[in-house]
Structure 1
Amino acid sequence: MNELADLLRAAGEPPADDPSAAVIADAALRQFELFGISRSTMEQIARRAKVSRVTLYRRFPSKDALVDAVILRELQRFTADLDRAVEPFDDLDDRLVEGFLFVLDAIRGHRLLQRVLESEPETILPRLTVDGAPFIGIASGYLAARLVLDRDDDRTPDDLAIVADTVVRLLLSYLLTPQTLVDLDDPAAARAFALRYLRPILVG
C-alpha cells in the first residue's frame, strides 16, 4: 500500500534503491537475533555486513537509528505477509479471522521480537509503549487503509482511523501481556474471540 510505504520512508526505512542500507539492515537483524540488541555493537554489525564503519554511519548515524530501521522494515514485511495471508478470502469474516490468527502466529514466531521481550525487554518496550507513537501510527495507518478496501459503508476516514488505532492498541496489549481470559493458543477459541469481540469493532 502506498500509504504504508510513505509512512515507512518518513520514519526512516532504508530506501529500496540503496543496496548498502539493505545489506546493513539484514546484517543487523541477524546480529540482533543471535546476540540481542543491547549486546550488539555497530562495529560487529559493520563486520557482519562487510562494510566499513564510515559506510555504516553514513546510512545510520546511530545504533538507535539502525534499530528503528530494522523494526520498521520488519513491520513492512509483516504487513505484506498479512496482505498475502488474507488475499484468498472473499468473505469479510474469513479475512478478519484469518488475519487475526496470522497476527498471533507471526508475533509468536518472530525470532527477534520474542528474544528481546524475554531477555532484554528494556530495549524494545519503550518503542512499543511510551515512545511507540511512530509504530502505532504505521500499524494503524495500514489497518485503516485495509478497512477502506474491505468495507463499503458510511464511516468517515476519521472513524476508520479511530477504529484502527483502537484495534492496534488492543492487539499490542495482548502482545505485551499474553496472559488472558481467552486461550488464544487454541485456534478455535481465537477464531471465536475474533468474531465475537473484534468483528463488532472493525465492522461497525
Structure 2
Amino acid sequence: MTERLARRTPEEFRALILDAAAECLVEGGFASGRLLSAIARKAGISRPTLYKYGGTVDDIKEALVERELSTFIARVAPVLDEIAWTPEYLTDLLVFLIDYARHHPLLRAALRDVPELILPVFTLQARAQVDLIGEFVTPLVREHITAGRIPDIDVTLLVDALYRVVIAAVIIETRQDLDDPASLRAYCRAVVSSLSTLPVPH
C-alpha cells in the first residue's frame, strides 16, 4: 500500500472500495466469480485491506445499494419540494424518475448481466421496494398536503402507481423509444392523464 493510501481514513477507504466495486459491476462484475479480486485491483489495495474496510461481496453490494438509495433521495428531494398537483408537474416528475432509472449504470448492468436475479427484486418482490420508497416519500408529501399546497391525495396509491409505471418503463422494451427525450415526455404526458385522476377525498 502506498503512503498516500495509508493516510486514508476508514470512511475514505470504504468510499474507494465502493467506487471500485461500482466500476467493476458496470464492467461485467455481476456475473464474475472473482469480484473481490477485481475490486481490490481496481482500488489499488490488498485483499486484507479490502476485507477490513469493505467486508464480503454481499457486504459491498449491500453498501452500494444503500449509497445509491441515498444518492437517489438527495436527487429526488428537491423535485418533491416543488410538488404541485398539476399535469405539468406530474409529467416532469415521471420524466425524472424514468430517465434516472433507465440510465442508472448499476441497474442497467444488473439487468444486462443477471436479469434472473434482479428482475424478481423489482417485480415479484416489489412490496419491500415500494414500502421503502413510501417511508421516504410519504412524510414529504404529507407536509405539502398539511400546508394546503396540494389536495389530500392517497399517497400510498400515488407511490404504488408511480412505481409500477417507472419499473415497467425500465424493464419492458416496446416500440416506445423512452431514451429519446421528446418521446419520453410524450409518453409521460399520456400516462399522467390517468394518474391525475387518482381519488381526492372531499
| TM-score normalized by the length of structure 2 | 0.71
Q: Does 1:171 align with 2:166?
A: yes
**Counterpart selection for 1:64 from 55, 58, 79:** 58
Q: CA deviation at 1:91?
A: 4.0
Mark the CA change 1:21 to 1:102 in structure 2 (over 3 Å): closer, same or farther: same
Question: Measured at CA, do residues 172 and 20 of structure 1 come closer, stay the same or move farther in structure 2, by a change above 3 Å?
Answer: same
Partner of 1:7: none
Measure how far apart 1:116 and its partner are: 2.5
Once the two structures are superposed, residues 17-43 of structure 1 have per-residue CA deviations (whole angstroms, 9 ceiling, x without a partner) of: 822222211111111111231225112
The structure with the larger Rg is 2
Report the equivalent of 2:48.
Answer: 54
Q: Matched residues in 1 for 2:59 and 2:124: separation? A: 17
Instruction: Select 1:137's aligned residue among 131, 140, 151.
Output: 131
Partner in structure 2 of residue 189 of structure 1: 186
State the match for 1:8 in structure 2. Answer: none
Of residues 109, 113, 118 in structure 1, which corresponds to 2:112? 118
**Displaced runs of 4+ in structure 1, greater than 6 A?**
none
* Unaligned residue ranges in structure 2 (runs of 5+): 1-9
- Deviation for aligned residue 1:57: 2.6
Task: Give, in whole Å, the separation in 1 of the partners of 2:177 and 2:60.
Answer: 36
Residues 140 and 173 (structure 1), Cα distance of their counterparts in 2 relative to 1, 3 Å cut = farther
Percent of aligned pairs sharing the same letter: 25
Partner of 2:4: none
User: Aligned pair count?
Assistant: 183
User: Normalising to structure 1: TM-score of the pair?
Assistant: 0.70
SS at match of 1:201: coil
Q: CA 1:202–1:176 in 2, change beyond 3 Å: closer, same or farther?
A: farther
C-alpha distance in structure 1 between counterparts of 2:49 and 2:123, whole Å: 32
CA distance in 2: counterparts of 1:59 and 1:31, whole angstroms: 17
Task: Please provide the CA RMSD for this pair.
Answer: 3.1
- 1:38 is matched with which residue: 31, 37, 41? 31
